[in-house]
Amino acid sequence: GIPIVEDTAQAFGAKFIKGKYSGRFAGTVGAFGTFSFFPTKNLGALGDGGAISSTNADFLAKAKSIASHGQRKKYEHHVLGLNSRLDPIQAAALAVKLKFLPEALSAKALISEQYLAAFQPLKQVVVPETASFSNHTYHQFTLTIPSEKRDGFAEYMREEGISTMVYYPIPLHKQKAYAHFEPRTSLAISEKLSRSVISIPVHEALAPNDILAIKDAITKYFS
């Protein structure tokens, strides 16, 4: 069959809660899993970082070699590689933050529950959905709104002192780096979403009054 590569950059900590993979974390059920430890992620380092998971020992050995300038042993370079080693400072920061990850994810889930209750009644707003077989880590809380209103909404939120971001404004197939890959089918949904999505604050440090202000501002705008 076709090997499954799991992009788990924004789903660290997500878990299957029913079905064949119940109890297993995202990034551990495919042939390979990829993780990002960029500072803004659920488990973020102080700078750039990432990891790969796999049960394939040969693949992991090759990945480790490539990540260390192609070395198998010190000063023995068997393939071309690069420096993708996680430095000790980043590793130390991640080890400490990992202990607090369940608490952080719980806080983000509680904030998201308040958002869902507040925004689901708004006819012009589509809120995130959670699959029945897994939980949601809410790396982002992304709303889908009418594309013609997004810029105005972002400006309104800025005036209210509330930050928003668009993830992502350009679909992958529209990036110049992939221009030579001709899409075999229409990607109209991706293109529509790139014009309609907008993310609001959901970090675990939000105070109750911050959450209330965000809910009130959005409800007022779309009511």
Q: Which domains does the chain have, with CATH numbers?
A: 5-99 (3.40.640.10), 101-222 (3.90.1150.10)
Q: What pLDDT score does 87 carry?
A: 94
User: Which residues contact residue 211 at a Cβ distance below 8 angstroms, ignoring those fewer than 6 apart?
Assistant: 111, 114, 115
The answer to whether 190 touches 171, Cβ cutoff 8 Å, is yes
Q: What pLDDT score does 1 carry?
A: 84
Q: Which long-range contacts (CB under 8 A, 24 or more apart) does 127-135 make?
A: 132/18, 133/16, 133/17, 133/18, 133/19, 133/22, 134/14, 134/15, 134/16, 134/17, 134/26, 135/14, 135/15, 135/17, 135/109
Q: What pLDDT score does 193 carry?
A: 98
In tens digits, what is the pLDDT along the chain, a chain of 223 residues? Answer: 899 999 999 999 999 999 999 999 999 999 999 999 999 999 999 999 999 999 999 999 999 999 999 999 999 999 999 999 999 999 999 999 999 999 999 999 999 999 999 999 999 999 999 999 999 999 999 999 999 999 999 999 999 999 999 999 999 888 999 888 877 777 899 999 999 999 999 999 999 999 999 999 999 999 9
Q: What pLDDT score does 67 carry?
A: 96
Q: What pLDDT score does 69 carry?
A: 96
